[in-house]
C-alpha cells in the first residue's frame, strides 16, 4: 500500500491560506487534513464552516476532516455537505460510536475513528470492520507543534494485530509530531497515512518535504 501524506492545514499560514492550499495542490500530498476544534473537547478553537467551505473551493484533493468536538453527530451532515471526503470522530466524544459511524457512511463518505494517547487500541476491536480509518493521536489533541509520544509505535503494532485478525483493510493514520526522525519507523511499524503540520509548513521547501515523506526516504 502506498503512503498517504496529509498536510495539516492547522499549521498553514492563515494570513495567506490560499498560497499554502495551492502549494499542497501542486505537491505530491494526497489529502488535506483539517482539524476542527470546539474549545470544549480540546482547549483550542480552529476552523469554522465558512473557512472550510472556502478551502474546499480551492482544493483539488480529498478533505480529511478530523472532528475534535463534543457531540459530533450534530454536525455530520453539515460537514458532508461542505465537502468532507473522510470524516473522523473521536472515540472519547461518542456515546454511541457504532451509530455515529453508520450515520457517516450512510451519507456516502469514509468514516474514521480517532483515539487519544491514553486510549488503548483495544477499544476499537468491535468496530474495526465498520470503519475505514483509525487515527492514532501521537500528541495530546488541541495544538500543533507538540513532541511526538514514542509509545505510539507500540499502539500501531497492537492495532495491526487487530486489523490482521479481523481481516480488514482499515487505514492507520498518525496525527501529531510526525517528522523526518520518526516517519520511516512509523511506516515500517504499519502506518500508512501520515499527518504532518509544522514539519511541512515550517520547512524551507514544503513541496520537497512532502515528497520526501511520500517516498519514505528519511532515515
CA dist list (Å): 214 to 5, 29, 160, 180, 210: 6, 7, 21, 11, 6
CA dist list (Å): 106 to 24, 102, 109, 182, 213: 29, 6, 8, 36, 33
Model pLDDT, residue 145:
67
Q: Which residues are catalytic?
A: 35, 175
Q: Point out the residues of the chain with pLDDT beneath 50.
A: none
Model pLDDT, residue 46:
87
* CB atoms closer than 10 angstroms to residue 54: 15
Model pLDDT, residue 43:
84
Model pLDDT, residue 195:
97
Model pLDDT, residue 45:
86
* Domains annotated on the chain, with CATH: 4-215 (3.20.20.70)
Model pLDDT, residue 2:
83
Amino acid at each position: 500500500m502506498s503512503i498517504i501524506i496529509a498536510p495539516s492545514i492547522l499549521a498553514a499560514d492563515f494570513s495567506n491560506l490560499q498560497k499554502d492550499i495551492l502549494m499542497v495542490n501542486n505537491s505530491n500530498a494526497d489529502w488535506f487534513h483539517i482539524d476542527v476544534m470546539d474549545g470544549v473537547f480540546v482547549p483550542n478553537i480552529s476552523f469554522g464552516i465558512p473557512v472550510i467551505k472556502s478551502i474546499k473551493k480551492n482544493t483539488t484533493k480529498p478533505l480529511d476532516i478530523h472532528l475534535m468536538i463534543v457531540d459530533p453527530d450534530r454536525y455530520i451532515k453539515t460537514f458532508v455537505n461542505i465537502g468532507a471526503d473522510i470524516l473522523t470522530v473521536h472515540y472519547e466524544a461518542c456515546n454511541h460510536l457504532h451509530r455515529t459511524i453508520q450515520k457517516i457512511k450512510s451519507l456516502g463518505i469514509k468514516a474514521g475513528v480517532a483515539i487519544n494517547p491514553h486510549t488503548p487500541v483495544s477499544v476499537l476491536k468491535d468496530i474495526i470492520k465498520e470503519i475505514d480509518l483509525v487515527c492514532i493521536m501521537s500528541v495530546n489533541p488541541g495544538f500543533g507543534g507538540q513532541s511526538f509520544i514514542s509509545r505510539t509505535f507500540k499502539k500501531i503494532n497492537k492495532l495491526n494485530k487487530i486489523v490482521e485478525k479481523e481481516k480488514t483493510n482499515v487505514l492507520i493514520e498518525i496525527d501529531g509530531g510526525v517528522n523526518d526522525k520518526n516517519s520511516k519507523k512509523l511506516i515500517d511499524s504499519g502506518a500508512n497515512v501520515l499527518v504532518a503540520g509544522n514539519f511541512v509548513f515550517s520547512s524551507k521547501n514544503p513541496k520537497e518535504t512532502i515528497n520526501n515523506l511520500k517516498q519514505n526516504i528519511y532515515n
